[in-house]
Amino acid sequence: MEEAEKAQQRNAQLDSGTLTSVLKRIIAENGREHVRGYLFAILCLVAVALSTAFTAWIMESVVNEAFANKRADLVWIICGAIFIAFVLRGLASYGQAVTLSKIGNNIVAQYQKRLYTHLMKLSVGFYSESRSAHLAAQISQNVNGIRDVLNLTVTSTARDFLSLIALIFVMITKDPILSLIVFGVAPPLLYALRYVSRRLRSATRESVELNSHVLGAMQETIQGIAIVKAFTMEEELSRKVNGIIDAAENRSNRIARLTERTSPLTETFAGLSISSVVGYAAFRSIYDGVPPGAFFAFITALLMAYDPARRLAKLQVQMERAVVNARMIYALLDLQPQQRERPGAPDLVVSEARVELKGVTFRYGEGDAILKAVDIVAEGGKTTALVGPSGAGKSTIISLIPRFYDPSEGAILIDGQDISQVTKASLRQHLAYVSQQPYLFEGTIRDNIRYGRPEASDAEVEEAARLAYAHDFILAQPQSYETPVGENGVTLSGGQRQRLSIARALVRRAPILLLDEATSALDNESEAAVQKALDTAMKGRTVVVVAHRLSTIVKADKIIVMAEGRVMEEGNHESLARRPDGLYARLNNLQAPV
Is there a contact between 583 and 388 (Cβ–Cβ < 8 Å)? yes
Q: What is the pLDDT of residue 191?
A: 66
Q: Give percent above pLDDT 70 in the chain.
A: 83
Q: Determine the 3-state secondary structure of 22 from DSSP.
A: helix
> What is the C-alpha separation between 130 and 113, in angstroms, rounded?
20
- pLDDT, tens digit (0-9, with 9 covering 90-100), for 465-505: 988 888 988 999 989 999 988 776 777 877 788 888 889 98
For 540, phi then psi, to 5°, come to 80, 0
Is there a contact between 19 and 318 (Cβ–Cβ < 8 Å)? no
H helices within 17-131, ranges in order? 19-30, 35-57, 59-61, 72-121, 124-129
Q: What is the pLDDT of residue 151?
A: 82
2-16, 119-133, 254-268, 408-422: which is most confident: 408-422
> What is the C-alpha separation between 438 and 493, in angstroms, rounded?
11
User: What is the longest distance spanned by two Cα atoms in the chain?
Assistant: 121
Amino acid letter, residue 1: M
114-123, 425-434, 521-530, 582-591: which is most confident: 425-434
Q: What is the pLDDT of residue 290?
A: 66
Per-residue confidence band for 8, with pLDDT thresholds at 50, 70 and 90: very low
Mean pLDDT across the chain: 80
- Among 29-38, 299-308, 465-474, the range scoring the smallest mean pLDDT is 299-308
70 class by beta-carbon count within 10 Å (0-12 exposed, 13-18 middle, 19+ buried): exposed
E-strand ranges in 346-399 read 355-363, 369-378, 383-387
Higher pLDDT, 144 or 50: 50
Domains and CATH numbers, the chain: 2-333 (1.20.1560.10), 355-591 (3.40.50.300)
> What is the C-alpha separation between 459 and 591, in angstroms, rounded?
40
Q: What is the pLDDT of residue 457?
A: 92
- pLDDT, tens digit (0-9, with 9 covering 90-100), for 127-144: 766 666 667 766 776 777
Is there a contact between 487 and 435 (Cβ–Cβ < 8 Å)? no
pLDDT at 1 over 50: no
Q: What is the pLDDT of residue 201?
A: 63
- pLDDT, tens digit (0-9, with 9 covering 90-100), for 88-120: 989 998 998 899 888 888 888 888 888 888 888
Is there a contact between 100 and 148 (Cβ–Cβ < 8 Å)? no
Q: What is the pLDDT of residue 189?
A: 63
